Structure 1
Amino acid sequence: MSTLLKIEFVTAEDHADEAGIFIATKVPHGWEETPCGPGRRFTLYLEDHPLGMELIRAMETQFPDSEVTWSERESENWAMAWKDFFNPVNCGETFTILPPWLEDGSENGTTHIVIEPKMAFGTGHHSTTSLCLATIGTMAKDGVIEPGQSFLDLGTGSGILGIGLCKLGLTGIGLDIDPQAIECARENAEANAVAQSMRCAVGSIDFLEPEAVFNIVVANILSGPLIEMARDILLHVRPGGSLILSGILADKQKEAVTEAYERLGIGAPVINIEGEWACLVWERVEGWDRA
């Protein structure tokens, strides 16, 4: 039977923010973060043992004065492990992300996105996900995002952003280069009753036909790929459509990503920041040279 790797990482409080950013760039799903004496404890679970041991070695190298311990547990207990600390996540005024065992059918003024925690995919606890959903909710309230529009969710992971857009009445496609992520996204789309509105497929931006364009393109990935694929991403934004980019460190990466897209002639974005992370938004993309 396969096992999970439970990693506990304890660091001094003055290194905690740096440690959180470090983990966020290595692990795409959520983790538990709790006070531990004068410092902070990070607890996370990984299914892939080679990746887990590599992460442990990287932690020990990056934070030599910190304590890293690990243990194994049966993967069938994965859901039970999450039940200890998976709390609902409020994303702005529109969305709440929660696990199946906390869904009681009453939305209490927000739209619920039900996510089954998995070993390698987003749960909504990461700031970039909640920041994107809060941005999407605000754009819907402002009438920029409307029912009947189409969307592309590039790097869909567990499908959270695409599911949120579907629940606002949009239809579209979620792409990810990881086949397991796509399987997870499909399961979550089914669980949220939007499978008919969201097609999921393995691939990156080059999966799409050249003529495929969308009213909303959202990409919550890493700054490097966002810069490298800037022109290809823009080619799939319908003229007058919106572009939402995240997975970008606010103090180190947002200028470089912004510059890559401004060079293509779409102007400056609105920049939303949550903690260490930035979300770049162009509400009306038009007037740039697509040749």
Structure 2
Amino acid sequence: MSTWKLTAYAPKPVVQAALLAQDEIDDWDFDLVVTGREVAEDRPHDWALEGYYPARPGAVQKKAMAGLFAGEAPKITVEKLPDEDWVTLSQQGTPPIRAGLFRVHTPDFPPTEDAINFAIPASQAFGTGQHRTTAGCLEMLGAMKASGMRARAIADIGTGTGLLGFAAMALWPHAKVTASDIDPVCAGVIADNAALNGIAIGSGMREMTMVIAPGMDDPLLQLRGPYDLLIANILAGPLVELAPDFAEAVSPGGSVLLAGLLAGEQEARVRRAYRRAGFRLAARIERGGWAILWFRRRRGR
């Protein structure tokens, strides 16, 4: 299937404001996937707003992108991406990343002895460690472990490549880990990545169970709870909506690790939702304008 990309360049605050505006639109066409990024590491204030669409964008899609900007919108360019998988192409030749205790690399690079290594090839699912939110979650998982936190049941919601679930398994090897994603393609991706990294797929300790489901809407996800640790690196809107479900799924004193939200207004909305759901903030880090939040569920709720 062809994929087209719409791009608009603007300063970081302008792009972040556009992402916040899209988050507030209830009838947004979610075939138009919008994301923001730095243009380059040495230009942290120059950002791009990118929209990906499965067909040639027309006036409707261009108007939707332009409407996210307050005032006059910057120029929006449109390009057809190669018929090859654009995610794969974007990740080929990417160097390894180091995030706390972890090192994530494509199979083109060998493992090292000074880190917990995961080989994640370019694939159709997100979560290779290159994005600041994924790397930040890896850092926070290491901090959780260092704090003495214990986990016997772990859920990774919106798992993508399975990387964060794999990392949690490495830190808490006796835990039962359940990974889920709304995208059916992730089942095959995770099976391949698990085999590549020597991780067993199954239902016992030291094994990962995979389900395809939106949010917590799966009987197996509910049966394998309550969870001592629930990870969700998704988007701010779904995180807010899922706060009550996560509260029901996490044991008293248990933890949720949330990412995929911009520091600022999105973070404030997520914090309010989780306070109302009975959580308290345990720790926070920020990477490239993205907030990574560790909450603990209050006992007695």
TM-score w.r.t. length of structure 1: 0.78
1:112, 1:28 → 2: CA distance?
A: 31
Q: Deviations over 1:183-208 (max 9, x none)?
A: 22222222211133211110130212
1:52, 1:113 → 2: CA distance?
A: 37
What SS does structure 2 have at the residue aligned with 1:200? strand
Is 1:144 the counterpart of 2:149 in the alignment? yes
Q: CA deviation at 1:22?
A: 5.8
Aligned partner of 1:287 in structure 2 is: 299
What SS does structure 1 have at the residue aligned with 2:82? strand
Unaligned runs of 5+ in 1: none
Is 1:70 the counterpart of 2:59 in the alignment? no
Amino acid paired to 1:73: P
Deviates more, 1:117-126 or 1:67-76: 67-76
Amino acid paired to 1:118: S
Aligned partner of 1:173 in structure 2 is: 178
Unaligned runs of 5+ in 2: 24-31, 202-206
Aligned partner of 1:157 in structure 2 is: 160
Q: CA deviation at 1:57?
A: 6.3
Percent of aligned positions that are identical: 26
2:61, 2:124 → 1: CA distance?
A: 15
Q: CA deviation at 1:164?
A: 0.9
Aligned partner of 2:101 in structure 1 is: 94
Q: Deviations over 1:98-140 (max 9, x none)?
A: 11112x13x2411112112124423222211111111001111
Is 1:130 the counterpart of 2:135 in the alignment? yes
Q: CA deviation at 1:176?
A: 1.0
Q: Is the 8 A contact 1:113 1:192 kept in 2?
A: yes
Report matched runs for 1:185-204 at 5 Å.
185-196=190-201, 197-203=207-213, 204=215
Q: CA deviation at 1:212?
A: 2.0
2:113, 2:288 → 1: CA distance?
A: 26
2:290, 2:282 → 1: CA distance?
A: 15
Q: 1:247 aligns with which of 260, 271, 277?
A: 260
Q: Is the 8 A contact 2:230 2:255 kept in 1?
A: yes
Using a 3 Å threshold, how does the CA distance of structure 1 residues 19 and 33 change in structure 2: closer, same or farther? same
Q: Deviations over 1:172-191 (max 9, x none)?
A: 11111111123222222222
Q: Is the 8 A contact 1:167 1:194 kept in 2?
A: no
Q: Is the 8 A contact 1:150 1:215 kept in 2?
A: yes
Deviates more, 1:163-172 or 1:73-82: 73-82
Aligned partner of 2:217 in structure 1 is: 206
Amino acid paired to 1:188: N
Aligned partner of 1:11 in structure 2 is: 9
Aligned partner of 2:279 in structure 1 is: 266
Q: Deviations over 1:139-171 (max 9, x none)?
A: 11222146xx22100111121110111222243
Q: CA deviation at 1:78?
A: 6.6
Q: CA deviation at 1:28?
A: 8.7
Using a 3 Å threshold, how does the CA distance of structure 1 residues 271 and 263 change in structure 2: closer, same or farther? same
Q: CA deviation at 1:16?
A: 4.5
Deviates more, 1:178-187 or 1:126-135: 178-187
Using a 3 Å threshold, how does the CA distance of structure 1 residues 69 and 276 change in structure 2: closer, same or farther? same
2:87, 2:242 → 1: CA distance?
A: 35
Q: Is the 8 A contact 2:281 2:293 kept in 1?
A: no
Amino acid paired to 1:212: G
1:45, 1:51 → 2: CA distance?
A: 12
Q: Is the 8 A contact 1:4 1:45 kept in 2?
A: no
2:251, 2:42 → 1: CA distance?
A: 49
Deviates more, 1:224-233 or 1:261-270: 261-270
Q: Is the 8 A contact 1:27 1:120 kept in 2?
A: no
Q: 2:55 aligns with which of 47, 50, 68?
A: 50
Amino acid paired to 2:138: L
Q: Is the 8 A contact 2:19 2:36 kept in 1?
A: no
Matched residue count: 276
Q: Deviations over 1:46-99 (max 9, x none)?
A: 6x6239778766555557433524134241797455325x222221x2112211
